[in-house]
Each structure stands twice: as structure tokens, then as C-alpha cells.
Amino acid sequence: MAVIQAVEALRPDNGGGAACSTCGRPTGPSSTTQFTSFMNHYAPREDGETAKARRKLYWLRSGLTHGGKLMEQDVNPGFGQFTLTWADERRTTDRATMLGRLAGVNWLLTDGE
């Protein structure tokens, strides 16, 4: 969660666009779209990596931040945690850490342009 939020702090504020006249919600790009655009710019996708895989990083963060999602390691601590779900979550968090670091370094090297 911290890695994704750190990336969010680096991305430019797009302001959410104008408000919809009917519902009042911003009409600009969603937070997920802004995140994936930033990541694709500063940590381009590797061959075979899908856009869905990038969105999954943000979805995991959103589920943890806004509730409704707990990591398998938090639900089943101890030696009983070695499940397919745990392994998938571990791969996702390891990938998020690596990509977040890469995007942060690339952002610094370009002076945030």
C-alpha cells in the first residue's frame, strides 16, 4: 500500500477534470488511469505484461485502503499461510515494490518531467 501511495504522491495532479452536471463527479481520468499512465511512463511494461497486471497493483492498494480486502497473510498468520492466494499476493506486492522503486528513480532522473 505504501509503495503505491508513494507513486501517487509523485504523479501530477490532474484535478479530476470538470464536474459532471448531473452527478457532480469529476469527468477526468480516474485514479487508476492516472496511476497506470504514470507507471507506464516511468516504468514501461515488459514484454508480455498486461495492462490488467498494472491495474491489479492499484486495485490491491484500493481494496486495502478503503476496506473490504485483507491480505491472506493477515487473515491466516503463521505456517498455514502458504496457499495459492498467499503466493499470488506475495508476487503482486513484490512486483509493486520493484516497479514503484523503478518509477521513483526514473522520475527523479527526469526531474519529475
Give the three cell numbers for residue 112.
Answer: 519529475
- Residue 79's CB is within 10 A of a number of other CB atoms, namely 6
Give pLDDT tens digits for 82-104: 778 778 888 888 888 888 899 99
Q: What is the pLDDT of residue 49?
A: 79
Give the three cell numbers for residue 49.
Answer: 505484461
Give pLDDT tens digits for 36-86: 888 889 988 888 877 788 788 878 878 888 877 777 777 776 665 677 877
DSSP letter at 26 equals B
What residue ranges do the domains of the chain occupy? 2-109
Q: What is the pLDDT of residue 26?
A: 77
Q: What is the pLDDT of residue 78?
A: 67
Is residue 1 classed exposed, middle or buried when 0-12, 13-18 and 19+ CB atoms within 10 A define those classes?
A: middle
Q: What is the pLDDT of residue 17?
A: 65
Q: Is the pLDDT of residue 106 over 90?
A: yes
Give pLDDT tens digits for 15-33: 666 778 888 887 878 888 8
Question: Following DSSP, what letter does each residue of 47-77 receive, concatenated?
Answer: TT--HHHHHHHHHHHHHHHHSS---HHHHS-
